[in-house]
Structure 1
Amino acid sequence: MKKISKALLASAMCASLFGCSSNENSDATVYKIGICNYVDDASLNQIVDNIQSRLEEIGKENEVVFDVEVENCNADSTVLNQIITDFQADNVDLMVAVATPVAMAMQSATEGSDLPVIFSAVSDPVGAQIVDSLETPGANITGTSDYLDTTSIFNLIFAADPDADKIGLLYDAGQDSSTASIESAKQYLEDKQIDYVVKTATTTDEVKLAVDALISEDVDAIFTPTDNTIMTAELSIYETLIDAKVPHYTGADSFALNGAFLGYGVDYANLGVETADMIAQVLLDKENPSTLAVRTFDNGTATINTETCTALGFDFETIKKAFEPLCTQVKEITTAESFDDLEG
């Protein structure tokens, strides 16, 4: 109920905000935008929040109004398709897809049309066949990618534990965003002649069982890419991993927010800002999504949960010193359900 109340409050505030803008700028051009988030997740929510705040800034700078509707399908494909249908019926000027499954659904629903779609947090847009190439997407869809540098994460794993000789790979095989990263991880470990154990899961209960199985296999660490299923389940597994003294290395800072030892990847707040800038390029500057290159980022940020770090028996300062040559920056975080909870 707490999360629902927050979402409703945020939605009401947003509606009020854009309503005021419309009243104050009655002659301004209004652009209708439909945003669909895949799941209630700290990193993805950051993207949505920053898209909205950046669009507000752009609207004021250009004396236009962005009338934004935000929906969340909660990983339900039926709900997702209905949201897209509703956006189309409302004659939105542009749709925004947050996460790979939403981008794929919007691509399918708008194929052959001129309705622009901007995606965010799509890890492998070419592999998921959403775009022809990163440089030239080729159709009505483009956006921002949170591509994961798998090698960089494994460099961190072995910097923390040079003697690690068995790694667990945990992901949802149904998440297209995870596939390329897992294959890259396997290749990395095979090249290094290091054993690995693969476990997949599609629900939180299955994730718990998969974690138990990995622990029983005596893995030294577990790797998970930017996988929404595992991310959602992190609060349910991090204490089990701490008790087993198994660090969880992951592909987003929201994992670390929810108890994982480390999240490595892009700044999701910045990802939202850049996504909003691309929306403006399409709607205000009239750029064509088919030729607007996908934006990729690798800011090399390692986010360490300091509570988990200590509980695992690591000394934070020692770990930080080992990681710093391998990252652009090392950030600290503690466990919470959302980034707002940390600020509160």
Structure 2
Amino acid sequence: MRVTRRAALAMLSAAPAFGLARRVRAAREVTIMMILWRGETGTEKGFRDQLREEGIDASFIVRDAGQDVRRVAEFAAEAKARRPDLIYVWGTPATLALVGRRGEIDPARHVTDLPVVFAMVSSPVGSKLVDASRLSGRNLTGTSHVVPVPDQLRAMRAYRAFTRLAVLYNPTEANSVINVAELREQARLLSFTLIEEPVPLAGGKPDASDLGAVVARLMPRDPHFLYLGPDSFIGANSPAITGAALDLGLPTFSATEAPLRSASALFGLVSRYDNVGRLTAHKAARILRDGLAPGAIPVETLARFSLVVRMDVARRLSFYPPISLLDFAELVG
């Protein structure tokens, strides 16, 4: 559904709870609840830094789900009781648990009457947080950090042509399943073989006990690259995954920044966590300072991405980037 400028203005006028009252509150210190998924990241630093630059004086209530989606229900209940001026939430699982999918919202469980900004949601449309207009029409807005899959694949092919791509993913994480579905469609369109390897589960949860063996199972199928998508479990365990791949001579492409900074991915086309946090804070400021309704602020990704190449990994693999990439790639390590 396309939303016109007139419709967007109507949404603004129809949401007084996020209008003048919020503008008045921004003149004093505001309270922001931060719901994290796996502890502090560079996204939160960027968020706080940008809020200060936007002139927002804020105190923070920080809660960490520790990758346990059940804890988000506790935080939602706490938010309803404490009534912060705004809630910041990191990642797809936590955001879905906090606000619900379109058409599946339960006011008894979900936060429906406090402004929410989300960050690091890989597919806001695919996750049914917003529709194709990228306007929620309700109490949330936010940012996505993932470069579109076709652009990621072009970056991979600019590094080296491939016909077989392996992907390791968590089948219990909605954004990961969506990402693999997008890869399947691109494999059909671009005529390459996608080698799918879901991580094993133990008691319904992803099992990190022997990820090296999971990577090794890929090798008889002779993949040219291992793809790590926007998957919190994969990101948290990327040192073990990329280390095993490196030992086996398998180059890894990452769709997110963390495996390039704190693990051994070879390269990736990514959004910087700090910049994602800053963009999210700008949206928060539009709510807290300017009085805009969250539902009339579009969900966005960054306008620019970074092609990061780990040269220490390239040397280990003897797999160097072509000269054509050197003019704009960020070379680290």
Query: TM class, shorter-chain normalised?
Result: 0.7 to 0.9
Question: Are the aligned partners of 1:304 and 1:331 in contact in 2 as well (CA < 8 Å)?
Answer: yes
State percent identity of aligned pairs: 20
1:314 maps to a residue whose letter is: F
Stretches (4+) displaced over 6 A = none
- In the other structure, the counterpart of 1:74 is 66
Taking the TM superposition and a 5 Å limit, the aligned residue runs for 1:183-222 are 183-201=181-199, 202-205=206-209, 207-222=211-226
Alignment counterpart, residue 276 of structure 1, candidates 277, 281, 305: 281
Listed one character per residue, the Cα deviations across residues 105-148 of structure 1 (whole Å, up to 9, x for unaligned) are 11137657321110011111121111234442111111111133
- Structure 2: stretches of 5+ with no match in the other structure: 1-25, 101-105, 200-205
Deviation of 1:277 after TM superposition, in Å, equals 1.1
RMSD: 2.2
Distance (whole Å) between structure 1 residues aligned to residue 187 and residue 252 of structure 2: 16
Question: Are the aligned partners of 1:106 and 1:117 in contact in 2 as well (CA < 8 Å)?
Answer: no
Distance (whole Å) between structure 2 residues aligned to residue 323 and residue 171 of structure 1: 28
- In the other structure, the counterpart of 2:28 is 29
Length-normalised TM-score, structure 2: 0.81
Q: Helix, strand or coil for the counterpart of 1:302?
A: strand
Deviation of 1:322 after TM superposition, in Å, equals 3.6
Distance (whole Å) between structure 2 residues aligned to residue 194 and residue 54 of structure 1: 42
- In the other structure, the counterpart of 1:4 is none
Change (3 A) 1:298 1:180: farther
Count of aligned pairs: 294
Listed one character per residue, the Cα deviations across residues 200-226 of structure 1 (whole Å, up to 9, x for unaligned) are 122323543321211232211111221
Change (3 A) 1:320 1:204: farther
Distance (whole Å) between structure 1 residues aligned to residue 212 and residue 72 of structure 2: 26
Question: Are the aligned partners of 1:128 and 1:176 in contact in 2 as well (CA < 8 Å)?
Answer: yes
1:95 maps to a residue whose letter is: I
- In the other structure, the counterpart of 1:50 is 46
Distance (whole Å) between structure 2 residues aligned to residue 269 and residue 286 of structure 1: 25
Answering whether residue 309 of structure 2 is matched by residue 304 of structure 1, we say yes
Distance (whole Å) between structure 2 residues aligned to residue 183 and residue 78 of structure 1: 26
Deviation of 1:28 after TM superposition, in Å, equals 5.7
Q: Helix, strand or coil for the counterpart of 1:205?
A: coil
Q: Helix, strand or coil for the counterpart of 1:204?
A: coil
Distance (whole Å) between structure 2 residues aligned to residue 297 and residue 58 of structure 1: 18
- Structure 1: stretches of 5+ with no match in the other structure: 1-26, 335-344
Distance (whole Å) between structure 2 residues aligned to residue 70 and residue 193 of structure 1: 46
1:253 maps to a residue whose letter is: E
- In the other structure, the counterpart of 1:147 is 146
Length-normalised TM-score, structure 1: 0.79
Answering whether residue 174 of structure 2 is matched by residue 170 of structure 1, we say no
Listed one character per residue, the Cα deviations across residues 281-336 of structure 1 (whole Å, up to 9, x for unaligned) are 11111101111111222523111111111111123xxx1524358xxx311233xx
Taking the TM superposition and a 5 Å limit, the aligned residue runs for 1:241-320 are 241-257=245-261, 258-315=263-320, 319=321
Deviation of 1:159 after TM superposition, in Å, equals 3.0
Distance (whole Å) between structure 1 residues aligned to residue 111 and residue 270 of structure 2: 34
Answering whether residue 329 of structure 2 is matched by residue 333 of structure 1, we say no
Taking the TM superposition and a 5 Å limit, the aligned residue runs for 1:88-99 are 88-99=80-91
Q: Helix, strand or coil for the counterpart of 1:168?
A: strand
Question: Are the aligned partners of 2:76 and 2:111 in contact in 1 as well (CA < 8 Å)?
Answer: no
Deviation of 1:101 after TM superposition, in Å, equals 1.0
Q: Larger % of helix: which? A: 1
Distance (whole Å) between structure 1 residues aligned to residue 316 and residue 197 of structure 2: 24
Question: Are the aligned partners of 2:279 and 2:302 in contact in 1 as well (CA < 8 Å)?
Answer: no
Change (3 A) 1:169 1:125: same
Question: Are the aligned partners of 2:99 and 2:111 in contact in 1 as well (CA < 8 Å)?
Answer: no
Q: Which has the higher contact order (CA 8 A, sep 6+)?
A: 2
Question: Are the aligned partners of 1:156 and 1:323 in contact in 2 as well (CA < 8 Å)?
Answer: no
Question: Are the aligned partners of 2:266 and 2:309 in contact in 1 as well (CA < 8 Å)?
Answer: yes
